[in-house]
Amino acid sequence: MVCIDGGDPAYLRQYLAEGAIPNIARFMREGFSVIAEGTVPSFTCPNNMSIITGTPASQHGISGNYYLDVKTGEAVVMTGPELLRGDTILARFADAGAKVVSITAKDKLRKQLGKGLEVSRGNVSFSSEHASRCTFAENGVDNVIDLVGMPQPDMYSMELSLFVLEAGIRLLEQRRPDLLYLSLTDWVQHKYAPHEPEARRFYQEIDRRFGRLAELGALVALTADHGMNDKSDAAGRPNVIWLQDILDARFGKGDTRVICPITDAFVAHHGALGGFVRVWCQGRARPEEVMAAIHGIPGIESVLDKATACRVHDLPADREADVVVISTAETCIGASQAQHDLSGLEGHRLRTHGGVSEARVPFILSAPLNDEYRLKAGAATLKSYQIFDYALNGTGES
Ligand SMILES: [Zn+2]
């Protein structure tokens, strides 16, 4: 099972049409493929948790990378395993006697993915970010750099993802795990659009490795945690709504608190700008007034009160803000302009995610469904869109 972080269907559409990703094309031809709808907010942590728990965010509790603890007024990082509610499929498989391997690019995800996974019993859980520091006690494997035969990859590189796949291939060759979860990082998709050569090279590299996994006998499942959209104008400037500045001007400083739940420790490639933010009302401003102030701002797709946001997007109420704001595909939302550092974009167009427009993801299996799952796929639960047909019969998009 591979989560292609930021793997927007647009990349597959481009490279399938070019014939650049033959292994994925074969999976789609011989196996199964649809576009599925991921969790909103379309961020990394909520969707990885939905994938490995099989539950919506309302149940697993991880509705972003950050939430505001209203008791302390502190923004809390949501990557701790203690915040994840319920068991993971990985831990349940391991408890039932299966050998499980979980590898992620960024270490922030490792602990949640590894929740309840007993690494002393031959299971493995590590990140390529911390590959050089793996120990048997903590990760169930050591000498990972030697095992993989690649140098420790840089945080901002495509190698951080390729290392995950290479490690998965080595472990599949040597240990034959029953379940392998490989979660990549979206650095490439944040930086490069589908037509850019670096993105094409990345997809060719990962496609080759998917082919190798299948060759080794794995049933390969591919999906993504979220898509990616270009959110810059014709001149290359990011289309940003600085929501905290707008609300401060209207209600005064301190009355509202805008939290950008895309934020993590590595934001250079997107400046912590995404398509989904949360607003807590801390002073006199009431949620209805805040919503009225945001309605009608160009680039805003929806403004929801807490109850509606939880119902529509299946989110945990105890971690939700008073107001949820989602932007259109072409726009992103920030807090105060002064708080966001966009220097890391280095002249690249801003590409990011978080909204409903980035929630559609590919869902591909290297083998066909059995009858039971064919019925499930036909039901509303997968909300599938057969837009990949042309890859199968060459007759164009349908
Ligand atoms: Zn992601």
For the entire predicted model, the pTM comes to: 0.92
Angle formed by the axes of helices 22-30 and 197-215, to 10°? 50
DSSP type of residue 71: T
Integer angstrom CA distances of residue 57 from 220, 274, 291:
25, 18, 23
Task: Kindly give the distance from the C-alpha atom of residue 340 to the centroid of ligand 1, in angstroms, as a whole number.
Answer: 19
**∠ CA(280), CA(282), CA(286), 5° rounding?**
80
pLDDT at residue 267 in the model: 62
pLDDT at residue 183 in the model: 98
Task: Kindly give the distance from the C-alpha atom of residue 325 to the centroid of ligand 1, in angstroms, as a whole number.
Answer: 19
Q: How many residues can be counted in the chain?
A: 398
Q: Which residues pair with 102 in a beta bridge?
A: 125, 181
Task: Kindly give the distance from the C-alpha atom of residue 185 to the centroid of ligand 1, in angstroms, as a whole number.
Answer: 6
Task: Kindly give the distance from the C-alpha atom of residue 226 to the centroid of ligand 1, in angstroms, as a whole number.
Answer: 6
Quickly list DSSP for 152-212: PPPSSSTHHHHHHHHHHHHHHHHH--SEEEEE---HHHHH--TTSHHHHHHHHHHHHHHHH
DSSP type of residue 355: S
Task: Kindly give the distance from the C-alpha atom of residue 353 to the centroid of ligand 1, in angstroms, as a whole number.
Answer: 8
Task: Kindly give the distance from the C-alpha atom of residue 224 to the centroid of ligand 1, in angstroms, as a whole number.
Answer: 8
pLDDT at residue 76 in the model: 82
Task: Kindly give the distance from the C-alpha atom of residue 148 to the centroid of ligand 1, in angstroms, as a whole number.
Answer: 24
Task: Kindly give the distance from the C-alpha atom of residue 186 to the centroid of ligand 1, in angstroms, as a whole number.
Answer: 6
pLDDT at residue 268 in the model: 61
pLDDT at residue 379 in the model: 65
pLDDT at residue 264 in the model: 65
Pairing of strands 221-223, 2-3: parallel
pLDDT at residue 392 in the model: 41
**Contact (Cβ atoms closer than 8 angstroms) between residue 280 and residue 322:** yes
pLDDT at residue 394 in the model: 40
Among candidates 335, 356, 40, which has minimal Cα distance to 229? 356
**Contact (Cβ atoms closer than 8 angstroms) between residue 3 and residue 221:** no
Task: Kindly give the distance from the C-alpha atom of residue 255 to the centroid of ligand 1, in angstroms, as a whole number.
Answer: 31
Spans of the chain below 50 pLDDT? 381-398
Task: Kindly give the distance from the C-alpha atom of residue 218 to the centroid of ligand 1, in angstroms, as a whole number.
Answer: 24
pLDDT at residue 77 in the model: 82
Task: Kindly give the distance from the C-alpha atom of residue 57 to the centroid of ligand 1, in angstroms, as a whole number.
Answer: 15
Task: Kindly give the distance from the C-alpha atom of residue 184 to the centroid of ligand 1, in angstroms, as a whole number.
Answer: 8
CA distance 273 to 257: 16
pLDDT at residue 393 in the model: 42
Six-digit token pair at 24?
Answer: 């994925």
Task: Kindly give the distance from the C-alpha atom of residue 182 to the centroid of ligand 1, in angstroms, as a whole number.
Answer: 13
CA distance 191 to 296: 30
